[in-house]
Structure 1
């Protein structure tokens, strides 16, 4: 039966909502017939995929519409097209059946599909005897969705897709194309208005900005050699392991001569050995997913599934992770489900409606960043984000996700004035949809990938951030301790003469230090936007700034909690960080900066070597004050404990005065050996100290406290006494 002229016109214009109902092979009164759009062809002959000729078709429209009877039932077809002396082959996408099946529909419908990244986006596959690319995209409110690319001259009329009505997913298998092809989605909204061409939400690779097309690519690696690393972390209690994180912006750590960025392989050759030598256990990258705007540092991502093209292809990032694992280094990435940019090619109004975001700006617009906010209460959006968390762990073997701006997700009134937000059903400010999403994400990650950790950047007193989701918590493994960072930096900025009046800025943190599993963060946020570098936050002249910063790092590495330090601060970069240039590595030619680098290196190695300094980071029985109330001298001392490990004493003097006979109470009599002294000449200090050891008798030792310094001592045991000494 011949379709109405109106349907044929819609088909040729690319506006027909169901092109598969007209194109391909269909049964008819006299047997099967085929219909195909073959632009530029004057003649067309149908063949099987194996090349067996079946029938010649008749051109019924000069724009390239052919049809005619063919023997046999439904099967994939190839057409030999001719126009004058030219001939070419076209394999017909509309002669193939769907790739997605009922199981996919069911799991997607109930939001429990944990392998969406295997189904959505663009995948090179074998299908019904042909090799090509399967495209799938969620756009339930669109009238028509087509895939466009260099393979069809970016013409939205050429490859309109099949709608799976049960879940709003459009799909098409296009044979004879492979990896490396740029593409986008041509989306006609429910009002008939064509949207700006959209990048694929599930794209595994993208063009380098300012270009914005998605690129057909294979994510990750075909085979990995990092089983020992992954097995170790899957078996261990991460809370009781040494974790010291080096936070890195990969575009500005170092820059190659004459080029904008290193490749992942070049970065691996330099960064991984440096991190190993420095004693860090993990690298944490600022977001590596695709983003259009460099000064956003990756926090405004348009391609959650695509490692940014700035540093090369997806396999390069996978090789970096594998290389880090082989060197014993974990890789964490910053992950941003809190908001997304409104760039025309991105997720905003993806199918002509507020699909990923809330329509009401009181819920769907972020005033701090002028970005959109995910609709966490929508099942498909939650599934998109949960699958993305699983994707990085599964496909790229990352060791963890640091989740950005969690507080902005938890509160409906975050950064909003009265009348600018919508209360929840109970009339409160909590965003229970975001809570359920975070719980679902953490349950999925910890359930599917033991050994992978999640870390919340959460700056409020929301209870139970690290409590398991099944007990009502958010389910994170760790939380950034923002209170520690704010209080201690404020203290270090004070003139030493005034510190006695603000003693509690150091001691107060121990009131809540074990309420969550904390990471102590000195992150990129502390060295941007006019805040200056950590060195320049310290009080005093230049010598005192270096001494105070060394003492501060000593306090932090001796304090309960995992450690995080942003790149450049390990050698006391003087200038505020900028993403537009590399770190000031030339400073290492100057003794104070090289001394700081050595100090951080030695702190890391001591932290890892001495179990008492890390094995009870998250438990109160691993900490005991030795000196808590000596505000007049600005001295703090405590002891770190762990079962089966010798205790370690940490002593800080935050005045420029040397205390030459300071009475230090310690819990065990005997010899305590000096591990570290930030005043040592090798680090740039004045050389004051205790000749490598102290003796504790009757519960105390008389010690020398160097100026603006932190020292650590490990218990070495009691000396054996002879009878004559007894």
Structure 2
């Protein structure tokens, strides 16, 4: 035996940090031949046979220990050569395989250097489980970052989940452990068995895993997510050439598990959903779908916001290929795809990222920095290069492997502020004594820069609820670099207004005008999202005052205001037809309501027509963020709760006048100023009978008179239906 007793024990008990130094083929110290060692617990006999060079020797290995450690030498070769292990088990079965310990590392030094700097932009092609062909051998290379582990093995259904079979090697000071395992292919289930810094042996899912078992199981699955045949090239070309700020974007927010259900207990798969969702979104005229997080998550009631598999679409609805099919189908129909992305935190599940190698690796050690008190989750350590690399590469991964058109970043405020939802003494100031999380700021700037430069045309959207400045301005100007930001102030003020009884609205008209005082500070999305129909808030319809007629009339005006106000509208599923119940992620929407009287179907028809008008009229989107794109005609008639404004594009080829009567009192002869003469056609009336209204309006339009009102050179008398929004176009 050429091993010392300590070396033999380290292999038998799987605690050697670099098993490749002992296992595999090595030259003998005196240069007289080679030695081969293999640890094969279930082998009765092991023979070495050359793979390529048939003139190289074959020879038997001798068992050094009953645990399954074999060793053999030959004088017939002075140098290492490619060989196969021919293994006979105790039942007489024979199998032939290349030795995992005969291959060079599959992760290069430059990869590790860039990873250590936080700048390996496609680290997901290096770490994790990568299907490879090495020296003509098909298999999977496994690599995982666990710098403080004492030992890491890859275990799975290919080795009986036995950590003694495939201990991995530590690649220098990188903290990355690696091993190429021949014969392991797509569909193999695996985990990492880690002897952590405390000596405890734990099983961990792969942080870079491309696919997972369906919850509550959590094994990672080897998968090739590059084999799907995309047919959306035309869409991607258009996306690269488009300026999203000057393009139409009306967003339909969808939770995949509860949009429609097969049964009470069963959801539709990605592929089954594709046809139905594409058809519906196309019919309704939305330009984009935004999915609540699709990344793998163990806890379904988190709606995907507690991510356990950042590099995998959830297996609840199918494979990664199936999700790619859904995205491809939407693109072929001309519909953009946004997804919620969650780099703010992660759950404490012991088999996932938390205390990955026994230390606070992805999170902060100090709970004042590393724990979210509100959500019971852990906060990423944005000051660690490898952690930032994990997240920035993840953003690129979704855009490149799944052709995602935009990432809506959840809970940005919780990332930016060290004292977010904390009392005095519960947080640690930054190096300058401030409350700003400087590491998170730099991470967000880098994420936005990389996403926009590596994936032209992809948008990034911040869910940021504070007055942090320059969220949608580029980093070189001191901004965070997002394309768009959710306007949470507009959402709160607008809902507060529309929830009021109309008799009180004259005292609160500033709720609707205030947003224009800060509108041009950022590039805003106007969200009526899932957050507004959960946690006891009720549905949008349920929050409107009055009887059913008034509720639906109110909701039509609210949505009409949302679509005609500057910014990109976002609406959560079900709100477009007046879902009565609060959203429940465990059940499908109440589609049966569309057959229950005229109001629900009328509201749905109204949103459909809103979208058609929106897309057709550049004045509603081309100049959303230009001062010239919007101005009030009159917002001072509080007593009658009537407001009017103009939307137009820069060339004024699309010029629209929007009028809102925000009480149930009809105004049959109300004069409003107009920017030009001629006939103004009524192109949308929320009170039309097809929408469930009373059918008052301005059939044939109105003719502008040379009579100055509201500072405009012309004016006309309008019929304003009760509780209505009207849109007029000149010519």
TM-score, reference length from structure 2: 0.96
Distance in 2, matches of 1:101 and 1:76, equals 21
1:258 CA displacement: 7.2
User: Which residue pairs with 2:148 in the alignment?
Assistant: 141
User: Which residue pairs with 2:489 in the alignment?
Assistant: 483
The DSSP-based 3-state class of the residue aligned with 1:369 is coil
The 10-residue stretch of structure 1 (250-259 or 451-460) with the greater mean CA deviation from structure 2? 250-259
Distance in 2, matches of 1:161 and 1:647, equals 66
Distance in 1, matches of 2:171 and 2:654, equals 64
User: Which residue pairs with 1:470 in the alignment?
Assistant: 476
1:646 CA displacement: 2.7
1:77 CA displacement: 2.7
The DSSP-based 3-state class of the residue aligned with 1:686 is coil
Residues 75 and 471 of structure 1: CA distance in aligned 2, closer, same or farther (over 3 Å): farther
User: Which residue pairs with 1:607 in the alignment?
Assistant: 614
Q: 1:68 aligns with which of 64, 68, 72?
A: 72
Residues 59 and 552 of structure 1: CA distance in aligned 2, closer, same or farther (over 3 Å): same
User: Which residue pairs with 1:32 in the alignment?
Assistant: 34
Residues 258 and 47 of structure 1: CA distance in aligned 2, closer, same or farther (over 3 Å): farther
Distance in 2, matches of 1:241 and 1:689, equals 31
Deviations 1:332-363 (A, max 9, x none): 00000011000011100001100000000000
1:221 CA displacement: 4.1
Q: 1:163 aligns with which of 170, 178, 186?
A: 170
1:70-109 → structure 2 map (5 Å cutoff): 70=74, 71-72=76-77, 73-82=79-88, 83=90, 85-109=92-116
1:106 CA displacement: 2.1
User: Which residue pairs with 1:656 in the alignment?
Assistant: 664
Deviations 1:593-622 (A, max 9, x none): 000000001101100000001101122210
Kept in 1, the 8 Å contact 2:628–2:650? The answer is no
1:85 CA displacement: 3.2
The DSSP-based 3-state class of the residue aligned with 1:571 is coil
User: Which residue pairs with 1:318 in the alignment?
Assistant: 324
Distance in 1, matches of 2:501 and 2:277, equals 37
Distance in 2, matches of 1:287 and 1:77, equals 47
Distance in 2, matches of 1:258 and 1:368, equals 31
User: Which residue pairs with 1:525 in the alignment?
Assistant: 531
Deviations 1:545-581 (A, max 9, x none): 0000001111111100001000000001000001000
Q: 2:592 aligns with which of 574, 586, 589?
A: 586
User: Which residue pairs with 1:515 in the alignment?
Assistant: 521
User: Which residue pairs with 2:444 in the alignment?
Assistant: 438
Distance in 2, matches of 1:221 and 1:482, equals 40
User: Which residue pairs with 1:296 in the alignment?
Assistant: 302
1:110 maps onto 2:117 in alignment? yes
1:42 CA displacement: 2.1
Distance in 1, matches of 2:53 and 2:686, equals 78
1:199-210 → structure 2 map (5 Å cutoff): 199-210=205-216
Distance in 1, matches of 2:700 and 2:556, equals 19
User: Which residue pairs with 2:715 in the alignment?
Assistant: 700
Query: Number of residues paired by the alignment?
Result: 715
User: Which residue pairs with 2:44 in the alignment?
Assistant: 42
User: Which residue pairs with 1:722 in the alignment?
Assistant: none
Distance in 1, matches of 2:231 and 2:43, equals 50
Q: Structure 1 unaligned runs (5+)?
A: 717-726
1:622 maps onto 2:624 in alignment? no
User: Which residue pairs with 2:711 in the alignment?
Assistant: none
Distance in 2, matches of 1:595 and 1:187, equals 59
Deviations 1:644-664 (A, max 9, x none): 323001110100000010011
Kept in 2, the 8 Å contact 1:74–1:95? The answer is no
The DSSP-based 3-state class of the residue aligned with 2:434 is coil
Distance in 2, matches of 1:400 and 1:215, equals 26
Q: 1:420 aligns with which of 423, 426, 439?
A: 426
Kept in 2, the 8 Å contact 1:125–1:132? The answer is yes
1:236 maps onto 2:248 in alignment? no
Distance in 1, matches of 2:92 and 2:636, equals 95
The 10-residue stretch of structure 1 (678-687 or 24-33) with the greater mean CA deviation from structure 2? 24-33
The DSSP-based 3-state class of the residue aligned with 1:514 is helix
1:234-633 → structure 2 map (5 Å cutoff): 234-257=240-263, 260-590=266-596, 591-633=598-640
The DSSP-based 3-state class of the residue aligned with 2:191 is strand
The DSSP-based 3-state class of the residue aligned with 1:569 is coil
1:49 CA displacement: 3.2
Kept in 1, the 8 Å contact 2:288–2:336? The answer is yes
User: Which residue pairs with 1:720 in the alignment?
Assistant: none
Residues 714 and 48 of structure 1: CA distance in aligned 2, closer, same or farther (over 3 Å): farther
Distance in 1, matches of 2:700 and 2:172, equals 75
The DSSP-based 3-state class of the residue aligned with 2:535 is coil
Residues 710 and 258 of structure 1: CA distance in aligned 2, closer, same or farther (over 3 Å): closer
1:165 CA displacement: 2.0
User: Which residue pairs with 1:671 in the alignment?
Assistant: 679
